[in-house]
Amino acid sequence: MQTLRASKYGLSTTQLPSAILDVIDALTKAGYEAYIVGGGVRDLMLGLNPKDYDAVTNATPSQVKEVFGRRCRIIGRRFELAHVYSGRELIEVATFRAPPKKEVTSASGMILRDNNWGTIEQDFVRRDFSINALYYQPRKNEVLDFCNAVDDIKHKTLRLLGDPMQRFEEDPVRMLRTLRFAAKLNFSIDEKILKIFTPEATQLLRDVSPHRLYDESQKLFTMGHLNRVMPMLIDFGIWHQLFAEITPEITPFIERAAKNTDQRISVGKTINPAFFYAVLLWKPFLERCHFYLSNGTVATEARAQAGLDVLKRQGTRTIIPRFAETFIREVWEMQTRLLNPKPQQIEALSSHARFRAGFDFLLLREKSGDKDTQGMGVWWDVYQTLSADEKERAIADYNRQRAKSRRKASHALAEEAKSNGAIQQAAIEPLVNEPEPRSRRSRKPKNATEFKRQSTMTDSAGGIGADHPILKRKRVKRDLSQVIFGPTQ
């Protein structure tokens, strides 16, 4: 172990938020050891801005609860932790771990219980990567390095502590963390890891709960380097362990969505991780829709059932929460509404709760070369920048274009029906070649002579002639004096 001066490596208390200092000071004041550990220390040394900070102490979770009272909540069963709230910030506080006296593991070697308390020397051995095993005491200006982690940071090398295969068996999620850190930090992976990181080894991820895999997938989507990590998921055989029905390929749509997600994160914009799941599952959704439509299902029902099928199938790998599933299905449904909106509904549609997500999805499809969008992505993009008067004119233009397209479609349909009718007429000859009158007026006789002529023709044809009794019947005038009007007795 070597004790390093923190300021020499660019670390100081001025860089730290008040929440983590509050936790460290409270534990130290209560007589316990307390350090900042993990990604927070690593990112500060690399000159990055850490998303969060974790603390580690020799106090047990129940003792941490005594120090912070209602501000603390103990969570976890396999790996017990204390969550301490400082204002709006949440600090995760772990206790020093020791090697278990009696290991509780699964058949594949995954640790099922890990709540054996120990010392700081025992704790660093339990950590996964060397770069995450630096202990920083801000008040003492010290960094404790037990495994030359500073050298690994200097040479940008990702190295596991201990035997890599054993560490993966203890927790298969470390495979995902390996790729995530390599992509995020642009580190090279140690040769010892590459030797055992095979598609066969990734089968260990089947022992991890789908809920936990979903959480890890969200970390991949939101780390800001999604475009770099997606090909790595295919190369290392992890794609099939995360995604059920998605073909392992980076389509132009997926690539553009990944770049767009990274750009939003880089400029500080918020993202919804479920949006990228909607992108990944779009192709299976379309294939399932086509299956139901080809079987005669109504379009609305086909889309609804296809969405349920695809998300249920994905649940065998990563269980997407109900609220995220609803979001994904609404984004898919918005595609149909945005492609062919009714003119009177355009203004209301632009203020829909899911309009922004649906529009972003449509525009990404269009920019990635999807011809089915019919240019509506650009239309909606321009529409949002217009004034109220300009929007009215744009809707009127859209309505005229829509009517014109419908007329063209109906004309094409009529021409097709006409050609089909001509073919059928040529095949079957009519029994009577007598032309039909052009209008009803031409059917009526113009005078009595013509009426008599038509009657004679009808009679000679074997129909009703002029001497027929029905034509000689006279109208009898009724005696209305005998008729009682109004209510009767």
Report, as residue numbers or ranges, the catalytic residues.
52, 54, 128
Cα three-residue angle 220-193-1, rounded to 5 degrees: 95
Q: Phi-psi category of 34—alpha, beta or left, where left has phi over 0 and alpha has psi -120 to 50?
A: beta
The C-alpha atoms of residue 283 and residue 59 are separated, in whole angstroms, by 51
The C-alpha atoms of residue 338 and residue 359 are separated, in whole angstroms, by 8
Strand partners, 90: 85
- CA-closest candidate to residue 343, choices 408, 404, 400, 409: 400
Half-sphere CA count of 147, side-chain side, radius 13 A: 24
- CA-closest candidate to residue 471, choices 454, 483, 450, 455: 455
The C-alpha atoms of residue 79 and residue 212 are separated, in whole angstroms, by 13
Q: Residue 362: is it exposed, middle or buried by C-beta count within 10 angstroms (0-12/13-18/19+)?
A: buried
Q: Tokens 């068996």 map to which residue?
A: 169
The backbone torsions φ and ψ at residue 92, rounded to the nearest 5 degrees and listed phi first, read -90, 125
Strands annotated E in 414-460: none
The C-alpha atoms of residue 130 and residue 34 are separated, in whole angstroms, by 19
